[in-house]
Amino acid sequence: MLQQVNPYLPSWEYIPDGEPYVFDGRVYVYGSHDRFNGHVYCLNDYVCWSAPVDDLSDWRYEGVIYKKTDDPLNLDGSMCLYAPDVTVGPDGRYYLFYCLDKVPIVSVAVCDTPAGKYQFYGYVHHLDGTPLGEREGDQPQFDPAVLTEGEQTYLYTGFCAKGDKSRLGAMVTVLGPDMLTIIQEPIIVAPSEPYAAGSGYEGHEFFEAPSIRKRGSTYYLIYSSILMHELCYATSDSPTEGFTYQGVIVSNCDMYIDSYKPANKPMFYGGNNHGSIVEISGEWYIFYHRHTNGTNFSRQGCLEKISFTEDGQIPQVEMTSCGSIETPLIGRGEYPAYLACNLFCDEESIYTDFTGAWMNNQFPKITQDGKDGDREIGYIANMKESATAGFKYFSCQGITKISIKVRGYCRGHFEVKTAWNGEVLGTIPVDFTNVWTEYFAAINVPDGIQALYFTYRGSGSASLASFTLGG
């Protein structure tokens, strides 16, 4: 039986910056495309995945929808395709907006279907034909997000590093029905860090990754703040002005969540974040990404169910292995270790790849064997003393035995708990092995909705492939 899990795509697929949309009864996700073991962001061509709205476990690969060499400025493929977005134009066609990584302009491609082969269409430009981003006084363009209403399309862009006074903030530009020509010049809608005093955005100023959605009569501007690991949002009753900061929707290291741990304790190795919200069969979700392989350059898409308060606010949600505590995983059978939504050790780090400990291979990481594109199931590597992998949530009933598959030069045991700092329910001894070896122990897990944590205690470094719950 297939179940909804995080990451929602196969463990060998690396699609960050997810922009989800529902078209004709299917959810389509558009994002950039990282490479496993890549040395920079977004090395691969754009691909698309989709799922029926009534089954978010049944994702279908739609294939390559646009190649980096399809842009006339990038015929040699020397530039990467950064985070895109898609909108349906007034003519009913699908328009793909994107930026290449070395030029400050917005490119557009078009297709008759949501996930067919997109064809290059043109560059967003001023009335005189000058590409937006190249006219004197223009802000450089980055991370386009688009929303079409009637004959007009609202284009949101921006990249604003902390302390950079040359970047003013997220901007919106209004395009005409041809999807390329500017009919209203850029307007700043969310401030950058140097210009945020008194704005309400202080501490969560705009950094990158704007995304725009509309719910009822309210516009939701989702973005990544200067802290990077969080997706924040602001709301307005207008698409071009009046956006008020509201809060954090999700953090890819679970900062601020205090329901199961201290608010300031990171529970995963975070990094930049990018995503958006979408309504699917009457329920709303936030799509975001996590970091794997101990770097910033192999990111994977995740999703969580969200809710709205009566006044339209979105309470922050925690990272899970299942997308929502309302749909826990079945507390029986084998689960791959790459589903871990918590991964940490005694030495804490909010960010992936930002400390010397990463260079010294001190932290556990989700990785895979083989090369990019190989359909190798992911696993957790480098689990040294205190390394902990957490999985949430399971509907447990009558679990009396747990087995794990481990390999590596390790000697010690894995503690099993239902909370990161909870009582040890039992231990599973492990030993040196260069092949995946199954170990088990009689361990009783309390009935009910439970999290499961596996903490390594011992010498050497263990890799964890999976665990099996039985009775």
Please state whether beta strands 244-251 and 276-280 pair in parallel, antiparallel, or not at all (unpaired): unpaired
Question: Distance (Å, rounded) from C-alpha 154 to C-alpha 214?
Answer: 12
The CA-based angle 338-416-332, given to 5 degrees, is 65
Of 62, 69, 77, nearest in space to 31 by CA: 62
Please state whether beta strands 276-280 and 46-52 pair in parallel, antiparallel, or not at all (unpaired): unpaired
Q: List the structure tokens of 210.
A: 């704007």
Please state whether beta strands 333-336 and 342-344 pair in parallel, antiparallel, or not at all (unpaired): unpaired
Question: Distance (Å, rounded) from C-alpha 429 to C-alpha 17?
Answer: 40
Rounded to a whole number of angstroms, the CA Rg of the chain reads 22
Of 277, 204, 282, 271, nearest in space to 243 by CA: 204
Q: Which positions are annotated as active-site residues?
A: 17, 208
Question: Distance (Å, rounded) from C-alpha 420 to C-alpha 123?
Answer: 50
CB of 456 within 8 A of CB of 384? Answer: yes
CB of 87 within 8 A of CB of 97? Answer: yes
Q: List the structure tokens of 77.
A: 């493929």
- Reported in sequence order, the residue ranges of 44-202 that DSSP labels E, i.e. its strands, are 46-52, 60-66, 85-88, 94-98, 107-111, 119-123, 145-149, 152-157, 169-175, 182-191
CB atoms within 10 A of CB 341: 26
- Which pairs from 175-181 meet CB under 8 Å and 24+ separation? 175/124, 176/151, 176/152, 177/89, 177/90, 177/91, 177/151, 177/152, 179/89, 179/95, 179/108, 179/110, 179/121, 179/153, 180/108, 180/121, 180/122, 180/123, 180/124, 180/125, 181/125, 181/127
Cis peptide before 393 (omega within 30 of 0): yes
